[in-house]
Amino acid sequence: MPEKTLYLDNNATTQVDPDVLEAMLPWVGTQYGNPSSPTTPGRFARECVQKAREQVARLIGARDAEIIFTSCGTESINSAIRSACTLDSNKRHIVTSAVEHSATLKLCEQLARDGYEITRLPVNSTGLLDVESLRAALREDTALATLLWANNETGVLFPVEEISAACRNKKVPLHLDAVQVVGKVSVDVNETDPDFLSLSGHKLHAPKGVGALFVNRRIRFQPMLQGSQEQGRRGGTENVASIVGLGAAAELAHHSLAAEQNRIRAIRDRFESRVLESVPGSSVNGDLEHRLPNTSNLAFDGIEAEGALMMLDERGLYCSTGSACTSGSVAPSHVLTAMGLNSTRAKGSLRFSFGRFNTEADATHAAELVSITIKKLRSLQSGSGSVVFAR
Ligand code: PLP
């Protein structure tokens, strides 16, 4: 294991913030009341869950009654889509995009098998969605439009306010997958005005296994998990420790977001410009203007990203590829493919995603490692010379 590691995979998951951990600790130790119980420990647990609800609501400009705690972003997404389908069962059409997370893609595939018609909107070569194509796709029998706010692979941001206006105009409910957005850039549901919005704890320095679904008070909701908890909207005894953690993480993000997004953008930009300068045949995938401040998805000519990922991993730099490993062969990322990248370029792309615990020095060091690694891979592939890693 290298003595210094560089974690640049914050879109995959984030480190639990020490303050979040501290808030959670009593709930994995001495505090274990059930929030549904009328006893003193139960009432205390209920108060703590309620505090967390208010903290999450504040982060996204919602009312606390509009927040339902779930087990993850995937559950939030599934609950929103299923609710829209169940409540209006005459409407059998769903609008989504070609670049959604698998939580949405897979459910839509299932709904298609169940007889739903799914419209998958295309994106352009920079990953942006054309709102005109959304307007044209919305119909009287559309049960829901379900779209990303920011793409997990490229960080590209969809024009959510225009999307929301288009949906409202056609009276089609809108679900936004904001899993990559909440905690990274400002989110205000009053401005964006979605019917549903999904978020996930582990993307904003809370633990895995907790998420939340915003359900706008104007919309009816049909629970996916039946039970009496969460006001009958999500059955199952609350994961109090993780909910408290999510509340604490939301509070931290609320206070630090404005400064943090600029700091992280500067780190990402330093990394990106150094790599682009030092590695010939490298370029950015995704729209430069409409992009999360922490994400850099880079294509490198003439390499297999899987090989680069493993070599970087050996050197202690952790990043990711968007490729999916199916039946032993590597399929190019569906996101990059939908943007029109050919298979070779898509398979030569790596995602670097920065976060709260990265520094300017990390950007410089990471850029050096990436540059050396790509050169080494290329020289190995052309069968010439060797490159020595510098630390
Ligand atoms: N949506 C997006 C855009 C994501 O990036 C992820 C996770 O990577 C999810 C949904 C799923 O969230 P979770 O891992 O909490 O189920």
Residue 183 pLDDT greater than 60, yes or no: yes
* Residue 47 clears pLDDT 70, i.e. is over it: yes
What's the pLDDT score for residue 387? 47
- The residue whose CA is least distant from atom 8 of ligand 1 is 12
How far apart are the C-alpha atoms of 56 and 246, rounded to whole Å? 7
Q: Is the dihedral of CA 245, 250, 251, 252 positive or negative?
A: positive
What pLDDT does 327 receive?
A: 52
- The CA 179 to ligand 1 mean position distance, Å, reads 6
- Pairing of the two strands 196-200 and 174-177: parallel
Mean pLDDT value of segment 301-325: 91
State the Cα angle at 53 between 51 and 58, rounded to 5°: 95
Ligand 1, residues at Cβ distance < 6 Å: 72-74, 101, 103, 148, 152, 177, 179-180, 200, 202, 211
CA of 281 relative to ligand 1 center, distance in Å: 31
Q: What's the pLDDT tens digit per position in 80-97?
A: 999 999 998 899 999 999
Closest-lying ligand 1 atom to the alpha carbon of residue 211:
15
**Protein residue closest via CA to atom 13 of ligand 1:** 73
Compute the distance from residue 140 Cα to the ligand 1 centre, in Å.
30
Question: Given a cut of 70, is residue 383 above it in pLDDT?
Answer: no
154 to 135, 164, 349: CA distances (angstroms): 24, 22, 10
Alpha-carbon dihedral of residues 63, 66, 69, 73, nearest 10 degrees? -100
Which atom of ligand 1 sits closest to the CA of residue 148?
3
Residue 384: the pLDDT is 57
Q: 3-state DSSP call for residue 338?
A: helix
Helix (H, G, I), strand (E, B) or coil at 194: coil
Q: Which of 11, 69, 74 to mutate to test the pocket of ligand 1 (most atoms within 8 A of CB)?
A: 74
What distance in angstroms lies between residue 73's CA and the mean position of ligand 1's atoms?
Answer: 5
pTM reported for the whole predicted model:
0.96
Sheet holding 67-70, edge to edge: 67-70, 211-215, 196-200, 174-177, 142-148, 93-97, 117-121
- Give the pLDDT of residue 40: 97
Helix (H, G, I), strand (E, B) or coil at 364: helix
Q: Which of 9, 81, 101, 202 to mutate to test the pocket of ligand 1 (most atoms within 8 A of CB)?
A: 101
pLDDT beyond 90 at 323: no
Contact between 274 and 80 (Cβ < 8 Å): no
Give catalytic residue positions.
325
Q: Residue 278 Cα, ligand 1 centroid: separation in angstroms?
A: 33
